[in-house]
Amino acid sequence: MGECSERVYYKEAVGAFLVFDVTRASTFEAVQKWKNDLDNKVLLPNGSPIPVVLLANKCDQAREGLVNNASQMDEYCSDKGFINWFETSAKEDINISEAAKYLVQKILENEKAHNFESIPKDPETMTLTNSTTVTSSQEFKSIPAAEPHKTGCC
């Protein structure tokens, strides 16, 4: 894929998940390549990188997987520019919602803090797509802050 088409792939992204498989070291080794690619190809309107959350997936399959030291993962994410990380299992639905809520919360905080154009005039309403609107009485207003790297299986 050429650089021009890759930029289109990321066009207008305001946040991202990077996922690796805790049972396959090669997927973790590729994480930094993907993070660098994101940082080089998509920025927020203020010029800062988009928020990226690292997901350590398949935590239900490996007791001795790649993530065995939370403080090392915290340090890795801090050093590499990830805003947070979570151990997840897509198969068992472990920490998927928590990670998504955390990323959405950070995206909304960025938009509010920097007055990006996507902030609606009415602070109680946010348009998610051309046809979907969320008001303060709905779920997104009351998203609790997710705990970093919550574990439920490992």
Rounded to whole angstroms, how far apart are CA atoms 98 and 149? 10
What is the residue extent of each domain of the chain? 20-42+59-114
pLDDT for 66: 65
Positions of the chain with pLDDT lower than 70, given as ranges? 1-8, 62-66, 116-154
pLDDT for 131: 41
pLDDT for 90: 95
Let me know: does 129 contact 118? Beta carbons within 8 Å.
no
Q: Which long-range contacts (CB under 8 A, 24 or more apart) does 66-73 make?
A: 66/20, 66/22, 66/23, 66/25, 66/28, 67/22, 67/154, 70/149, 70/151, 73/149
pLDDT for 148: 52
pLDDT for 113: 82
